Protein backbone atom coordinates (compact mmCIF):
# COMPACT_ATOMS: atom_id res chain seq x y z
CA UNK A 1 0.00 0.00 0.00
CA UNK A 2 1.44 3.36 -1.05
CA UNK A 3 1.71 6.11 1.52
CA UNK A 4 0.04 9.48 1.23
CA UNK A 5 3.36 11.06 0.32
CA UNK A 6 3.99 8.46 -2.36
CA UNK A 7 0.56 8.97 -3.88
CA UNK A 8 1.24 12.66 -4.51
CA UNK A 9 4.02 11.79 -6.99
CA UNK A 10 2.02 8.97 -8.59
CA UNK A 11 1.65 9.21 -12.39
CA UNK A 12 -1.39 7.47 -13.83
CA UNK A 13 -1.36 5.48 -17.09
CA UNK A 14 -5.08 4.84 -17.18
CA UNK A 15 -6.17 8.49 -17.33
CA UNK A 16 -4.20 9.26 -20.58
CA UNK A 17 -5.74 6.11 -22.03
CA UNK A 18 -9.28 7.29 -21.27
CA UNK A 19 -8.46 10.74 -22.74
CA UNK A 20 -6.94 9.33 -25.96
CA UNK A 21 -9.84 9.94 -28.39
CA UNK A 22 -7.90 8.51 -31.33
CA UNK A 23 -7.28 5.16 -29.62
CA UNK A 24 -10.84 4.93 -28.30
CA UNK A 25 -12.35 5.59 -31.73
CA UNK A 26 -10.33 2.69 -33.19
CA UNK A 27 -12.24 0.34 -30.86
CA UNK A 28 -15.64 2.04 -31.29
CA UNK A 29 -17.22 -1.24 -32.44
CA UNK A 30 -16.41 -2.88 -29.11
CA UNK A 31 -16.58 0.20 -26.86
CA UNK A 32 -19.65 2.46 -26.88
CA UNK A 33 -19.59 6.11 -25.82
CA UNK A 34 -21.66 5.26 -22.76
CA UNK A 35 -19.11 2.61 -21.79
CA UNK A 36 -16.23 5.11 -22.19
CA UNK A 37 -17.99 7.74 -20.06
CA UNK A 38 -18.80 5.11 -17.43
CA UNK A 39 -15.16 4.01 -17.41
CA UNK A 40 -14.03 7.61 -16.88
CA UNK A 41 -16.46 8.05 -14.00
CA UNK A 42 -15.37 4.77 -12.41
CA UNK A 43 -11.71 5.73 -12.69
CA UNK A 44 -12.40 9.09 -11.01
CA UNK A 45 -14.16 7.20 -8.19
CA UNK A 46 -11.35 4.66 -7.88
CA UNK A 47 -8.59 7.26 -7.99
CA UNK A 48 -10.43 9.57 -5.62
CA UNK A 49 -10.89 6.88 -2.97
CA UNK A 50 -7.37 5.48 -3.20
CA UNK A 51 -5.24 8.56 -3.90
CA UNK A 52 -6.95 11.55 -2.30
CA UNK A 53 -9.42 10.43 0.33
CA UNK A 54 -7.42 7.62 1.94
CA UNK A 55 -6.13 9.73 4.79
CA UNK A 56 -9.54 11.31 5.36
CA UNK A 57 -11.32 7.97 5.51
CA UNK A 58 -9.50 6.80 8.65
CA UNK A 59 -10.23 8.33 12.07
CA UNK A 60 -7.49 10.54 13.48
CA UNK A 61 -7.52 9.09 16.97
CA UNK A 62 -5.22 6.21 17.94
CA UNK A 63 -6.70 2.87 19.02
CA UNK A 64 -5.67 0.86 22.08
CA UNK A 65 -3.04 -1.81 21.50
CA UNK A 66 -5.48 -4.67 21.96
CA UNK A 67 -7.92 -3.19 19.44
CA UNK A 68 -5.08 -2.50 17.04
CA UNK A 69 -4.02 -6.17 17.08
CA UNK A 70 -7.54 -7.22 16.24
CA UNK A 71 -7.80 -4.68 13.45
CA UNK A 72 -4.48 -5.70 11.89
CA UNK A 73 -5.89 -9.22 11.45
CA UNK A 74 -9.05 -7.91 9.79
CA UNK A 75 -9.51 -8.96 6.16
CA UNK A 76 -12.22 -8.03 3.71
CA UNK A 77 -14.30 -11.01 2.56
CA UNK A 78 -13.80 -12.68 -0.81
CA UNK A 79 -17.44 -12.02 -1.72
CA UNK A 80 -17.03 -8.32 -1.11
CA UNK A 81 -13.83 -8.20 -3.19
CA UNK A 82 -15.73 -9.88 -6.03
CA UNK A 83 -18.50 -7.29 -5.73
CA UNK A 84 -15.93 -4.51 -5.89
CA UNK A 85 -14.41 -5.95 -9.06
CA UNK A 86 -17.86 -6.25 -10.68
CA UNK A 87 -18.49 -2.62 -9.80
CA UNK A 88 -15.48 -1.54 -11.91
CA UNK A 89 -16.02 -4.12 -14.68
CA UNK A 90 -16.57 -1.53 -17.43
CA UNK A 91 -13.29 0.21 -16.62
CA UNK A 92 -11.48 -3.16 -16.71
CA UNK A 93 -13.10 -4.02 -20.07
CA UNK A 94 -11.99 -0.74 -21.67
CA UNK A 95 -8.39 -1.29 -20.52
CA UNK A 96 -8.41 -4.92 -21.71
CA UNK A 97 -9.77 -4.04 -25.18
CA UNK A 98 -7.41 -1.09 -25.73
CA UNK A 99 -4.20 -2.31 -24.08
CA UNK A 100 -4.56 -5.99 -23.24
CA UNK A 101 -4.62 -7.98 -20.00
CA UNK A 102 -0.84 -7.93 -19.50
CA UNK A 103 -0.40 -4.18 -20.07
CA UNK A 104 1.01 -1.69 -17.59
CA UNK A 105 -2.43 -0.05 -17.44
CA UNK A 106 -3.93 -3.35 -16.28
CA UNK A 107 -1.24 -3.66 -13.59
CA UNK A 108 -2.16 -0.16 -12.40
CA UNK A 109 -5.83 -1.18 -12.33
CA UNK A 110 -5.03 -4.23 -10.18
CA UNK A 111 -3.00 -2.03 -7.83
CA UNK A 112 -5.83 0.47 -7.52
CA UNK A 113 -8.32 -2.34 -6.85
CA UNK A 114 -6.12 -3.64 -4.04
CA UNK A 115 -5.91 -0.16 -2.55
CA UNK A 116 -9.67 0.29 -2.92
CA UNK A 117 -10.38 -3.02 -1.15
CA UNK A 118 -8.01 -2.02 1.64
CA UNK A 119 -9.67 1.39 1.92
CA UNK A 120 -13.11 -0.18 2.14
CA UNK A 121 -12.03 -2.75 4.71
CA UNK A 122 -10.31 -0.04 6.79
CA UNK A 123 -13.56 1.87 6.92
CA UNK A 124 -15.22 -1.21 8.48
CA UNK A 125 -12.60 -1.62 11.23
CA UNK A 126 -13.80 1.25 13.33
CA UNK A 127 -17.14 0.98 15.01
CA UNK A 128 -17.61 4.76 15.40
CA UNK A 129 -19.55 6.05 12.37
CA UNK A 130 -17.96 8.90 10.41
CA UNK A 131 -20.00 11.85 9.21
CA UNK A 132 -20.28 12.29 5.45
CA UNK A 133 -18.94 15.59 4.12
CA UNK A 134 -21.20 15.43 1.06
CA UNK A 135 -24.56 14.93 2.78
CA UNK A 136 -24.53 16.39 6.29
CA UNK A 137 -27.39 15.20 8.45
CA UNK A 138 -29.45 17.96 9.98
CA UNK A 139 -29.56 18.06 13.70
CA UNK A 140 -32.81 16.64 14.98
CA UNK A 141 -33.76 15.16 11.60
CA UNK A 142 -35.77 11.93 11.81
CA UNK A 143 -35.03 9.02 9.49
CA UNK A 144 -37.95 6.89 8.35
CA UNK A 145 -37.39 3.21 7.70
CA UNK A 146 -40.25 3.13 5.19
CA UNK A 147 -41.73 0.15 7.07
CA UNK A 148 -45.21 0.37 8.53
CA UNK A 149 -45.28 -0.46 12.24
CA UNK A 150 -48.03 -2.53 13.85
CA UNK A 151 -50.47 -0.52 15.96
CA UNK A 152 -51.84 -1.64 19.32
CA UNK A 153 -55.25 -0.39 20.51
CA UNK A 154 -56.19 -0.61 24.18
CA UNK A 155 -59.15 0.55 26.20
CA UNK A 156 -58.40 3.54 28.35
CA UNK A 157 -58.52 3.04 32.10
CA UNK A 158 -60.92 5.19 34.06
CA UNK A 159 -59.13 7.74 36.20
CA UNK A 160 -61.13 9.09 39.18
CA UNK A 161 -61.74 12.82 39.45
CA UNK A 162 -60.01 12.91 42.82
CA UNK A 163 -56.74 12.30 41.01
CA UNK A 164 -57.11 15.51 39.02
CA UNK A 165 -58.11 17.48 42.12
CA UNK A 166 -55.06 16.22 43.97
CA UNK A 167 -52.87 16.91 40.95
CA UNK A 168 -54.10 20.49 40.71
CA UNK A 169 -53.39 20.98 44.37
CA UNK A 170 -49.79 19.81 44.18
CA UNK A 171 -48.96 21.45 40.83
CA UNK A 172 -47.23 24.74 41.61
CA UNK A 173 -48.42 27.86 39.82
CA UNK A 174 -45.80 29.74 37.81
CA UNK A 175 -44.38 32.67 39.72
CA UNK A 176 -44.21 36.18 38.37
CA UNK A 177 -40.43 35.89 38.14
CA UNK A 178 -40.63 32.80 35.90
CA UNK A 179 -43.20 34.54 33.65
CA UNK A 180 -40.89 37.53 33.26
CA UNK A 181 -38.03 35.17 32.50
CA UNK A 182 -40.06 33.50 29.72
CA UNK A 183 -40.95 36.88 28.21
CA UNK A 184 -37.31 37.99 28.21
CA UNK A 185 -36.26 34.66 26.70
CA UNK A 186 -38.86 35.02 23.93
CA UNK A 187 -37.74 38.59 23.18
CA UNK A 188 -34.12 37.44 22.98
CA UNK A 189 -35.05 34.75 20.49
CA UNK A 190 -36.87 37.28 18.30
CA UNK A 191 -33.94 39.68 18.41
CA UNK A 192 -31.51 36.88 17.60
CA UNK A 193 -33.61 35.88 14.58
CA UNK A 194 -33.67 39.48 13.36
CA UNK A 195 -29.89 39.76 13.71
CA UNK A 196 -29.41 36.52 11.76
CA UNK A 197 -31.71 37.74 8.98
CA UNK A 198 -29.96 41.11 8.70
CA UNK A 199 -26.54 39.43 8.72
CA UNK A 200 -27.60 37.09 5.90
CA UNK A 201 -28.96 39.98 3.85
CA UNK A 202 -25.80 42.03 4.38
CA UNK A 203 -23.62 39.06 3.41
CA UNK A 204 -25.71 38.53 0.25
CA UNK A 205 -25.31 42.19 -0.75
CA UNK A 206 -21.55 42.07 -0.14
CA UNK A 207 -21.12 38.84 -2.10
CA UNK A 208 -23.20 40.18 -5.00
CA UNK A 209 -21.02 43.29 -5.21
CA UNK A 210 -17.89 41.15 -5.05
CA UNK A 211 -19.09 38.73 -7.73
CA UNK A 212 -20.61 41.37 -10.04
CA UNK A 213 -18.58 41.23 -13.26
CA UNK A 214 -15.92 39.09 -11.57
CA UNK A 215 -15.69 35.64 -13.23
CA UNK A 216 -13.27 34.39 -10.57
CA UNK A 217 -16.17 34.13 -8.09
CA UNK A 218 -18.54 31.34 -9.13
CA UNK A 219 -21.98 30.70 -7.69
CA UNK A 220 -21.82 26.96 -6.96
CA UNK A 221 -25.62 26.77 -6.81
CA UNK A 222 -25.84 27.94 -10.44
CA UNK A 223 -26.34 24.92 -12.71
CA UNK A 224 -25.28 27.01 -15.71
CA UNK A 225 -22.02 28.41 -14.33
CA UNK A 226 -19.06 28.56 -16.77
CA UNK A 227 -17.42 25.28 -15.71
CA UNK A 228 -20.71 23.39 -16.15
CA UNK A 229 -21.27 25.02 -19.55
CA UNK A 230 -17.75 23.93 -20.59
CA UNK A 231 -18.51 20.35 -19.55
CA UNK A 232 -21.83 20.40 -21.43
CA UNK A 233 -20.12 21.80 -24.55
CA UNK A 234 -17.52 19.02 -24.37
CA UNK A 235 -20.29 16.41 -24.24
CA UNK A 236 -21.75 17.86 -27.44
CA UNK A 237 -18.47 16.98 -29.18
CA UNK A 238 -18.41 13.50 -27.62
CA UNK A 239 -22.01 12.63 -28.49
CA UNK A 240 -24.07 14.84 -30.85
CA UNK A 241 -21.06 15.77 -33.04
CA UNK A 242 -20.28 12.13 -33.90
CA UNK A 243 -23.90 11.33 -34.78
CA UNK A 244 -24.23 14.44 -36.96
CA UNK A 245 -20.92 13.65 -38.68
CA UNK A 246 -22.09 10.17 -39.66
CA UNK A 247 -25.39 11.58 -40.93
CA UNK A 248 -23.59 14.13 -43.16
CA UNK A 249 -21.30 11.40 -44.53
CA UNK A 250 -24.35 9.45 -45.71
CA UNK A 251 -25.13 12.37 -48.05
CA UNK A 252 -21.92 11.47 -49.96
CA UNK A 253 -19.79 14.22 -48.45
CA UNK A 254 -16.11 13.80 -47.67
CA UNK A 255 -14.84 13.73 -44.10
CA UNK A 256 -13.14 17.12 -44.43
CA UNK A 257 -16.36 18.70 -45.72
CA UNK A 258 -18.29 17.28 -42.77
CA UNK A 259 -15.69 18.64 -40.32
CA UNK A 260 -15.92 22.10 -41.89
CA UNK A 261 -19.74 22.14 -41.84
CA UNK A 262 -19.95 21.13 -38.19
CA UNK A 263 -17.29 23.66 -37.17
CA UNK A 264 -18.88 26.44 -39.23
CA UNK A 265 -22.17 25.89 -37.39
CA UNK A 266 -20.32 26.66 -34.15
CA UNK A 267 -18.59 29.74 -35.59
CA UNK A 268 -21.75 31.22 -37.09
CA UNK A 269 -23.73 30.21 -33.99
CA UNK A 270 -21.51 32.13 -31.55
CA UNK A 271 -21.75 35.31 -33.66
CA UNK A 272 -25.53 34.87 -33.87
CA UNK A 273 -25.84 34.48 -30.09
CA UNK A 274 -23.59 37.49 -29.44
CA UNK A 275 -25.75 39.70 -31.67
CA UNK A 276 -28.96 38.52 -30.00
CA UNK A 277 -27.47 38.99 -26.52
CA UNK A 278 -26.50 42.59 -27.31
CA UNK A 279 -29.90 43.58 -28.69
CA UNK A 280 -31.75 41.68 -25.96
CA UNK A 281 -29.86 43.48 -23.19
CA UNK A 282 -30.67 46.83 -24.79
CA UNK A 283 -34.38 45.92 -24.91
CA UNK A 284 -34.40 44.80 -21.27
CA UNK A 285 -32.72 48.01 -20.08
CA UNK A 286 -35.16 50.12 -22.09
CA UNK A 287 -38.13 48.25 -20.65
CA UNK A 288 -36.84 48.79 -17.10
CA UNK A 289 -35.75 52.42 -17.56
CA UNK A 290 -38.92 54.00 -18.93
CA UNK A 291 -41.38 53.03 -16.15
CA UNK A 292 -38.97 54.37 -13.53
CA UNK A 293 -37.90 57.63 -15.20
CA UNK A 294 -41.31 58.33 -16.73
CA UNK A 295 -43.98 57.03 -14.33
CA UNK A 296 -47.59 57.21 -15.48
CA UNK A 297 -50.94 57.50 -13.80
CA UNK A 298 -54.25 56.58 -15.43
CA UNK A 299 -57.56 57.95 -14.21
CA UNK A 300 -60.98 58.30 -15.87
CA UNK A 301 -59.59 57.24 -19.22
CA UNK A 302 -56.77 59.78 -19.13
CA UNK A 303 -53.06 59.10 -18.86
CA UNK A 304 -50.82 61.50 -16.95
CA UNK A 305 -47.05 61.58 -17.30
CA UNK A 306 -44.11 63.98 -17.68
CA UNK A 307 -41.02 64.04 -19.83
CA UNK A 308 -38.55 61.28 -19.05
CA UNK A 309 -36.15 62.29 -16.30
CA UNK A 310 -32.40 62.10 -16.79
CA UNK A 311 -30.78 59.06 -15.17
CA UNK A 312 -27.93 59.59 -12.71
CA UNK A 313 -24.85 57.39 -12.38
CA UNK A 314 -26.28 55.30 -9.53
CA UNK A 315 -29.47 54.60 -11.49
CA UNK A 316 -27.54 53.51 -14.59
CA UNK A 317 -25.27 51.20 -12.59
CA UNK A 318 -28.21 49.56 -10.80
CA UNK A 319 -30.13 49.24 -14.07
CA UNK A 320 -27.29 47.39 -15.83
CA UNK A 321 -26.71 45.07 -12.87
CA UNK A 322 -30.37 44.07 -12.46
CA UNK A 323 -30.80 43.71 -16.22
CA UNK A 324 -27.82 41.31 -16.38
CA UNK A 325 -29.01 39.35 -13.35
CA UNK A 326 -32.54 39.05 -14.76
CA UNK A 327 -31.31 37.96 -18.20
CA UNK A 328 -28.92 35.39 -16.75
CA UNK A 329 -31.53 33.96 -14.35
CA UNK A 330 -34.07 33.53 -17.18
CA UNK A 331 -31.65 32.80 -20.04
CA UNK A 332 -32.89 29.23 -20.59
CA UNK A 333 -36.30 30.61 -21.64
CA UNK A 334 -34.73 31.99 -24.84
CA UNK A 335 -33.01 28.76 -25.94
CA UNK A 336 -35.91 27.13 -27.78
CA UNK A 337 -36.96 30.19 -29.85
CA UNK A 338 -33.31 30.99 -30.65
CA UNK A 339 -32.79 27.46 -32.02
CA UNK A 340 -35.77 27.92 -34.34
CA UNK A 341 -34.64 31.36 -35.54
CA UNK A 342 -31.12 30.10 -36.19
CA UNK A 343 -32.25 27.07 -38.21
CA UNK A 344 -34.92 28.95 -40.17
CA UNK A 345 -32.89 32.08 -40.96
CA UNK A 346 -29.20 32.14 -40.07
CA UNK A 347 -28.34 28.56 -41.08
CA UNK A 348 -29.02 29.36 -44.75
CA UNK A 349 -25.61 31.10 -44.82
CA UNK A 350 -23.96 27.68 -44.31
CA UNK A 351 -26.14 24.99 -45.90
CA UNK A 352 -29.42 24.83 -47.80
CA UNK A 353 -30.56 21.51 -46.37
CA UNK A 354 -33.85 20.88 -44.62
CA UNK A 355 -32.29 20.12 -41.23
CA UNK A 356 -35.68 19.22 -39.76
CA UNK A 357 -35.52 16.04 -41.86
CA UNK A 358 -32.01 15.25 -40.54
CA UNK A 359 -32.60 14.17 -36.94
CA UNK A 360 -28.98 13.96 -35.77
CA UNK A 361 -27.87 17.24 -37.36
CA UNK A 362 -30.99 18.95 -35.97
CA UNK A 363 -30.15 17.75 -32.45
CA UNK A 364 -26.51 18.83 -32.88
CA UNK A 365 -27.53 22.38 -33.87
CA UNK A 366 -29.89 22.71 -30.90
CA UNK A 367 -27.17 21.50 -28.51
CA UNK A 368 -24.63 23.96 -29.94
CA UNK A 369 -26.97 26.96 -29.77
CA UNK A 370 -27.92 26.10 -26.18
CA UNK A 371 -24.29 26.05 -25.01
CA UNK A 372 -23.24 29.08 -27.08
CA UNK A 373 -26.18 31.13 -25.80
CA UNK A 374 -25.39 30.29 -22.17
CA UNK A 375 -21.78 31.33 -22.83
CA UNK A 376 -22.89 34.73 -24.17
CA UNK A 377 -25.08 35.62 -21.16
CA UNK A 378 -22.28 35.14 -18.63
CA UNK A 379 -20.73 38.22 -17.04
CA UNK A 380 -18.28 38.65 -18.69
CA UNK A 381 -19.19 36.45 -21.70
CA UNK A 382 -17.25 33.23 -22.26
CA UNK A 383 -14.95 33.01 -25.27
CA UNK A 384 -14.19 30.28 -27.83
CA UNK A 385 -11.05 30.07 -30.01
CA UNK A 386 -10.33 28.12 -33.21
CA UNK A 387 -7.08 27.92 -35.21
CA UNK A 388 -6.78 28.58 -38.94
CA UNK A 389 -4.85 26.68 -41.58
CA UNK A 390 -1.12 27.28 -41.24
CA UNK A 391 -1.23 28.28 -37.56
CA UNK A 392 1.24 26.69 -35.14
CA UNK A 393 -0.23 23.91 -33.02
CA UNK A 394 -0.78 24.96 -29.39
CA UNK A 395 -0.80 21.89 -27.10
CA UNK A 396 -1.82 23.98 -24.10
CA UNK A 397 -5.25 24.70 -25.60
CA UNK A 398 -5.81 21.98 -28.21
CA UNK A 399 -5.52 18.23 -28.64
CA UNK A 400 -4.43 16.57 -31.88
CA UNK A 401 -7.17 14.97 -33.96
CA UNK A 402 -6.32 11.64 -35.60
CA UNK A 403 -2.74 12.58 -36.65
CA UNK A 404 0.35 14.20 -35.13
CA UNK A 405 2.25 17.24 -36.38
CA UNK A 406 3.08 20.89 -35.78
CA UNK A 407 1.16 22.80 -38.46
CA UNK A 408 -2.63 23.18 -38.26
CA UNK A 409 -4.79 22.15 -41.20
CA UNK A 410 -8.19 22.99 -39.67
CA UNK A 411 -10.00 23.13 -36.33
CA UNK A 412 -12.41 20.30 -35.55
CA UNK A 413 -13.65 21.67 -32.20
CA UNK A 414 -12.90 25.03 -30.52
CA UNK A 415 -11.24 25.65 -27.16
CA UNK A 416 -13.39 27.34 -24.48
CA UNK A 417 -12.10 30.10 -22.18
CA UNK A 418 -13.69 31.67 -19.09
CA UNK A 419 -13.57 35.04 -20.89
CA UNK A 420 -11.46 36.64 -23.63
CA UNK A 421 -7.77 36.26 -22.74
CA UNK A 422 -8.90 34.40 -19.60
CA UNK A 423 -8.16 30.93 -18.20
CA UNK A 424 -8.91 27.79 -20.20
CA UNK A 425 -12.13 25.89 -19.46
CA UNK A 426 -11.83 23.01 -21.95
CA UNK A 427 -9.46 22.09 -24.78
CA UNK A 428 -10.35 21.93 -28.45
CA UNK A 429 -9.27 19.56 -31.26
CA UNK A 430 -7.28 20.40 -34.41
CA UNK A 431 -6.16 18.40 -37.45
CA UNK A 432 -2.39 18.84 -37.88
CA UNK A 433 0.23 17.67 -40.36
**368 and 240 belong to one structural domain:** yes
Please report the pLDDT score of residue 341 as a whole number. Answer: 95
Please report the pLDDT score of residue 199 as a whole number. Answer: 81
Per the document, the length of the chain is 433
| 284 has a pLDDT exceeding 70 | yes
Return the higher-pLDDT residue of 106 and 138.
106
| 211 has a pLDDT exceeding 60 | no
**268 and 378 belong to one structural domain:** yes
**350 and 233 belong to one structural domain:** yes
The reply to whether 32 falls in a domain is yes
Q: Give dist(CA 256, CA 249) in Å, integer.
A: 10
Please report the pLDDT score of residue 206 as a whole number. Answer: 60
Return the higher-pLDDT residue of 346 and 158.
346
**112 and 249 belong to one structural domain:** no
Mean pLDDT for the chain overall: 78
pLDDT by residue (tens digit) across 13-52? 888 888 888 888 777 777 887 788 888 888 888 777 776 4
| 53 has a pLDDT exceeding 80 | no
pLDDT by residue (tens digit) across 241-251? 999 999 999 98
Cis peptide bond upstream of 359, omega within 30: no
Please report the pLDDT score of residue 218 as a whole number. Answer: 57
Please report the pLDDT score of residue 177 as a whole number. Answer: 64
Please report the pLDDT score of residue 80 as a whole number. Answer: 61
**243 and 390 belong to one structural domain:** yes
The reply to whether 411 falls in a domain is yes
| Cβ-proximal residues to 176 (8 Å cutoff; 6+ apart), any chain | none
pLDDT by residue (tens digit) across 321-365? 999 999 999 999 999 999 999 999 999 889 989 999 999 999 999
The reply to whether 155 falls in a domain is no
Please report the pLDDT score of residue 374 as a whole number. Answer: 96
Residue 55 exposure: Cα atoms within 13 Å on the Cβ side: 9
Please report the pLDDT score of residue 431 as a whole number. Answer: 92
**Torsion angles phi and psi, residue 313, rounded to 5:** -65, -40
Return the higher-pLDDT residue of 250 and 124.
250
| 82 has a pLDDT exceeding 90 | no
**Cβ neighbour number for residue 201 with a 10 Å cutoff:** 10
Please report the pLDDT score of residue 181 as a whole number. Answer: 85
The reply to whether 283 falls in a domain is yes
Q: Give dist(CA 166, CA 335) in Å, integer.
A: 74
The DSSP secondary structure of 122-175, one letter per residue, reads HHHH--SPPPPSSSPPPTT-----S-PPP----PPPP--HHHHHHHHHHSPPPP
- In order of 20, 386, 411, 430, the CA distances from 433 in angstroms are 18, 16, 12, 10
Q: Which of 251, 256, 231 lies closest to 411 in space, CA to CA?
A: 256
Number of domains in the chain: 2
The DSSP secondary structure of 366-378, one letter per residue, reads HHHHHHHHHHHTS
Query: The domain containing residue 413 runs over which residues?
Result: 226-290+340-432
Please report the pLDDT score of residue 71 as a whole number. Answer: 40
| 307 has a pLDDT exceeding 90 | no
Q: Which of 236, 233, 272 lies closest to 418 in space, CA to CA?
A: 233
- pLDDT average, residue stretch 291-312: 87
The reply to whether 308 falls in a domain is no
Last residue of a domain, one of 83, 102, 124: 124
**377 and 244 belong to one structural domain:** yes
Last residue of a domain, one of 74, 93, 124: 124
Residue 193 exposure: Cα atoms within 13 Å on the Cβ side: 6
Last residue of a domain, one of 69, 89, 124: 124
**248 and 101 belong to one structural domain:** no
* Strand segments (E) across 279-365: 297-299, 302-304
| Exposure class string for 120-157: b at 16+ Cβ within 10 A, else e | bbbeeeeeeeeeeeeeeeeeeeeeeeeeeeeeeeeeee
- In order of 212, 216, 418, the CA distances from 379 in angstroms are 8, 11, 10
pLDDT by residue (tens digit) across 179-202? 888 888 888 988 988 888 888 777
| 125 has a pLDDT exceeding 60 | no
The reply to whether 143 falls in a domain is no
| 138 has a pLDDT exceeding 50 | no
Please report the pLDDT score of residue 165 as a whole number. Answer: 54
Quote the radius of gyration of the chain (alpha carbons, Å).
32
Please state, for a pLDDT cut of 90, what percent of the chain lies above it.
35
The reply to whether 111 falls in a domain is yes
**109 and 236 belong to one structural domain:** no
Return the higher-pLDDT residue of 366 and 70.
366
**230 and 114 belong to one structural domain:** no
Answer for the pair 292, 275: CB distance below 8 angstroms, yes or no. no
The reply to whether 351 falls in a domain is yes
| Residue 96, SS3 per DSSP | helix
Please report the pLDDT score of residue 278 as a whole number. Answer: 95
Residue 418 exposure: Cα atoms within 13 Å on the Cβ side: 11
**115 and 232 belong to one structural domain:** no
Strand order in the sheet with 424-426: 383-385, 415-417, 424-426
**234 and 90 belong to one structural domain:** no
- pLDDT average, residue stretch 361-380: 95
| 129 has a pLDDT exceeding 60 | no
Please report the pLDDT score of residue 371 as a whole number. Answer: 96
Return the higher-pLDDT residue of 125 and 429.
429
Amino acid sequence: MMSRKGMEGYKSLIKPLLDDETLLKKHRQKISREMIQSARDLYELLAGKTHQKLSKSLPAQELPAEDLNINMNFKIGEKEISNNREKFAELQNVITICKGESSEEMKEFESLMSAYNFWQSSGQIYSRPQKSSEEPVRRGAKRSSGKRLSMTVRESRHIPETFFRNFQKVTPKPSKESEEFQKIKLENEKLRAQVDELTTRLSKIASDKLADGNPNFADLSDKNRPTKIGEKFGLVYDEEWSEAFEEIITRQHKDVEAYEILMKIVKVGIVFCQEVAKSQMSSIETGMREPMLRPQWCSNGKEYSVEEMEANTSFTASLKKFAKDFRKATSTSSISPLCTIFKDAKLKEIIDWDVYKMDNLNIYIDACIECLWLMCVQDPPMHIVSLNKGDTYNPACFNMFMTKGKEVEYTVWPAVFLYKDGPLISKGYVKVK
